[in-house]
Amino acid sequence: MAAAPMVSLHVTLLDKGQSSAVGGCASLDTCVWTLGEQVGMQKLTSSAQSNFGYIFRSASGMWKSSQFPNLTLAEAGVRNTGDKVQFAGDFDVVTATKTSAPATPSTAPSSPPTIPAQPPLVPTFSTYSSSLVELKVTIDAVSKSLTKICRASLDKCVWDFGQDVGTAMLSSPVSHGFVFSYAGHHWRSRQHPNLTLAEAGVRKSGEAVAFSADVRPLSPAEASPAVELTVRLLDKSGTRSTTGQAPLDMCVWTFGAELGMRKLTTGPLSNYGYVFRCGSSEWRSNRNPNLTLADAGVADGDAVDFLGDFEPPSSAGPIPLVEVQVTLVSKDKKETSTHKTTLDKGVWRFGEEQAGVRNLLTSSLSRFGYVFHFGEHAWRKGHHPNLTLADAGVKDGDVVEFTGDFESL
């Protein structure tokens, strides 16, 4: 049997009050929920009523993960590259799917039945006794943030509640327990071991609380000096600058999270990790999860950068930055620019995210691919999708060139 064709899709992740657009590539026999996990579906807010399920929408209709756990893209009506699909959290009570006698081959439906489209999803909270509440809980880990809707009694110990909802994912060699945050206040598990939700001020359903790892020792032998830094948050849509103060023994990623690092766009290859840049080196959260500001050589008054990570993990340690001169060759003109990057960067990602190759004309014959030229050699995106700058032999100060690909694959 021939393999199902691959398609590249326009995917929207729809969360409360906001949406983000990402790309996804999969074969038509891929389970839609597997695709969802690959593109970040699990970061969406969902509800305990649906067992934290999700909703998938295509042009053909809408399906719920609780009712169609094995739904494939083909069964959901996806057919072609460029199709638009959407993932959202499910806030409805799980209902049993209707069962019927197996259909004969001549009458078997081409796809599972769809659920009629509904208005925008808004979580609903049932009326409980005064001691039982339903809370929006965020587990705030270094490389990702997970949000759930969970139910608990107000007299429940905060840390027992945290264990129930998944604070185990926060454990690390430098963790000194957990931090519970609510309404601008923070409690550390080692200082308040018997804290209850009620004592923390939680009173009603719908409140938002958060758990994070406690990365600061309770009684350090000597206080780590604090530094003030200029921080740039670099994203595809622009740059935001701010300033922040922190002790030098603070984890870089905790510092970044406090300044808004999690709002940056990132990718599934790095498990939605981040990049920290200082001076002529950069570090990635999936390689250096316990990196402190001191480890990175930060000094008071330095300027540092945070950006999303789109590269797969490799060896740990700082990665030296190199400067590459790039020429974009169009049919009627050439444009030259210089960019700093790392040699393990994917050639095509470097071209698209930094050098502007998407402005080049290309062709459907090559699936709108590009050609990378260095020295006497040339590589086509369609034939070398995972090529890195290092693979191509690029070094600091080299000159490279991108052109559109107009040849059939």
Question: pLDDT tens for residues 252-270?
Answer: 988 898 888 988 988 888 8
Average pLDDT over residues 311-321: 75
What pLDDT, on the 0 to 100 scale, is given for residue 213? 85
Task: Using the predicted structure, report yes or no on whether residue 402 has a pLDDT greater than 90.
Answer: yes
Q: What is the pLDDT of residue 172?
A: 63
Sheet bearing 319-320, strands edge to edge: 238-247, 226-235, 303-308, 274-278, 281-284, 319-320
All structural domains of the chain: 6-89 (3.10.20.90), 132-213 (3.10.20.90), 226-318 (3.10.20.90), 322-404 (3.10.20.90)
Q: Stretch 220-225: mean pLDDT, rounded?
A: 56
**What is the structure's pLDDT at 219?**
52
* Highest mean pLDDT, choosing among 192-206, 259-273, 294-308: 294-308
Residue from 82, 91, 83, 56 nearest 71 by CA: 56
Could you tell me which residue, 164 or 370, shows the higher pLDDT? 370
C-alpha 187/C-alpha 202 separation (Å) is 13
Amino acid at 279: G
Count of C-beta atoms within a 10 Å radius of residue 310: 18
Give the best-scoring range by mean pLDDT among 94-108, 167-181, 307-321, 375-389.
375-389
pLDDT of residue 103: 36
The pair of structure tokens assigned to 323 is 């400067």
The yes-or-no verdict on residue 337 having pLDDT over 50 is yes
pLDDT greater at residue 281 or residue 104: 281
CA dist 307 and 350 (Å) reads: 14
Residue 121 in this model has a pLDDT that exceeds 60: no
Count of Cβ atoms closer than 10 Å to residue 79 Cβ = 15
Tens of pLDDT, residue by residue over 35-85, are 988 888 888 888 777 788 899 999 888 899 988 999 999 999 998 888 889
Q: Note the pLDDT of residue 123.
A: 32
Tell me whether strands 303-308 and 274-278 are parallel, antiparallel or unpaired.
antiparallel
B/e letters for 333-357, b = 16+ CB within 10 Å, e = fewer, are eeeeeebebbbebbbbebbbbebeb
For residue 351, what pLDDT is reported? 93
208-213 and 185-188 beta bridge pairing: unpaired
> Is the pLDDT score of 301 beyond 80?
yes
Residue 105 has pLDDT above 50, yes or no: no
The mean pLDDT of the chain is: 82
Q: What is the pLDDT of residue 146?
A: 84
User: 66 in helix, strand or coil?
Assistant: coil
Q: What is the pLDDT of residues 372-387, one digit of tens each?
A: 999 999 999 999 988 9
Q: Say what the pLDDT of residue 302 is.
A: 94
| For residues 150-161, average pLDDT | 88
Confidence of residue 20 (pLDDT cuts 50, 70, 90): confident
**pLDDT-wise least confident of 4-18, 208-222, 325-339:** 208-222
Query: Taking the mean position of all CA atoms in its chain, how far away is CA 3?
Result: 29
* 295/318 Cα distance (integer angstroms): 10
Give residue 158's pLDDT.
92
pLDDT of 28 > 70? The answer is yes
Would the pLDDT of 1 be above 60? no
